[in-house]
Amino acid sequence: MKIFLDGAFVEAADAKVSVFDHGLLYGDGVFEGIRLYQKNVFRLDAHLERLEYSAKAIALKLPWTRAEIAEWTCEACRQNGLTDGYIRLVVTRGAGNLGLSPKRCPKPTIFIIADKISLYPPELYATGLELITVPTRRMNAAALPPAVKSLNYLNNIMAKIEAENLGYQEAILLNDQGFVAECTGDNIFALFKGELLTPKPSSGALRGITRDAVIDLAAEFKLPVRELDLTRYDLWIADELFLTGTAAEVIPVVKLDGREIGTGKPGPLTARFIEAFHRRVIVEGTRI
């Protein structure tokens, strides 16, 4: 496997970063998870825009243009002969010293891993997920805005551990006011009385690229979408629930906190979104 690292392609075994890199020492950096479908990178520009916003939020100046990063991303797919894949694009503060200040980190580190995608078992899409709300809250935007896709994922990992300890694959996180934020690596949507409801980004949800794609599809379906504060109750009484994310795509939820959602089976509208999303991703995107 060839990895893009700081301007060149190297073998995976040689793709190494310094132990003084602040990405490792402090989680000081940003990243994107991107999908390649049939040699098309899905919404590459939107991912790179979000990367720029994340970098700006942590005051990390990217010394490369969006076009350069886009080209390296496509080249990483080509170098690895990929048709379908998962791309992890990471920018760290770079190597510094044993102090928090980024002032001693003169040069950010960039690396791009383009690998085969490991998909969720297909039966999950047919049977649907069961979720649990976990005690760990989504961190407050005044501490570190959840809109920043930073390398500091401990908040999400703590929630994942709690869900897995209870026998669930994914967790719902509430924000510090008790409203629904998102899952550990996915956004959430509820269908209720002919409306699609989803937490506002200010409730602690990442502005997911898949979330945006679903909102676009909803417009095509003439289905109203509302971003609002949602409680667990709003999710329990929903007609349908589903999650969206780069890895999971669109996946039905059939149970939350021991309550069956709707009929207890994946809903018809969720199925429609899954189908439309699959049709969309193979035609939309940046050709590598």
Please give the residue ranges that form the binding site for ligand PXG (CB under 6 A). 33, 156, 182, 185-187, 206, 208-211, 244-247
* One-character DSSP codes across the chain: -EEEETTEEEEGGG----TTBHHHHH--EEEEEEEEETTEETTHHHHHHHHHHHHHHTT----S-HHHHHHHHHHHHHHTT-SSEEEEEEEE--B--SSS-GGG--S-EEEEEEE---PPPHHHHHH-EEEEE-SSPPPPTTTS-TTS-BS--HHHHHHHHHHHHTT-SEEEEE-TTS-EEEESS-EEEEEETTEEEEE-GGGT----HHHHHHHHHHHHTT--EEEE---HHHHHT-SEEEEEETTTEEEEEEEETTEEPTTSS--HHHHHHHHHHHHHHTTSSEE-
In the complex, minimum distance from the CB of residue 209 to ligand PXG, in angstroms, rounded to a whole number: 4
Quote the least distance from Cβ 97 to ligand PXG, whole Å.
30
Closer residue to ligand PXG (CB): 92 or 198:
198
Active site residues: 149
Query: Minimum distance from CB of 221 to ligand PXG (Å)?
Result: 19
Q: Is the CB of 69 or the CB of 95 nearer to ligand PXG?
A: 69
**Smallest distance from the beta carbon of 272 to ligand PXG, in angstroms?**
19
Q: Which is nearer to ligand PXG, 107 or 278 (CB)?
A: 278
Between residues 128 and 185, which has the closer beta carbon with respect to ligand PXG? Answer: 185
